[in-house]
Amino acid sequence: MGPNDETTPYLKQAYTLEMEYNNDTNPNLNPHTILKKTQTHMSGTVTSVGVI
């Protein structure tokens, strides 16, 4: 059970994840190397339960 799960206001959360990969075609490099990763977590309160 997390914060604000049983009574109003309820906790609403959303996440974003952006990743940038190495697209190098050099066979000596891993072409799936993550160059940049940005993760954002947003939260706030709402008065009713609904679809995100």
Buried b (16+ CB within 10 A) or exposed e, 24-39: eeeeeeeeeeeeeeee
pLDDT tens digits, one per residue of 2-49: 555 677 788 888 999 999 988 777 777 766 788 899 999 999 988 887
CA 15 to chain centre: 3
CA-to-CA separations, 37 to 13, 29, 43, in angstroms, rounded: 20, 19, 20
**Predicted confidence (pLDDT) at residue 52 exceeds the cutoff of 60:** no
> What residue spans define the domains of the chain?
10-46
Q: What is the pLDDT of residue 26?
A: 74
Q: What is the pLDDT of residue 3?
A: 58
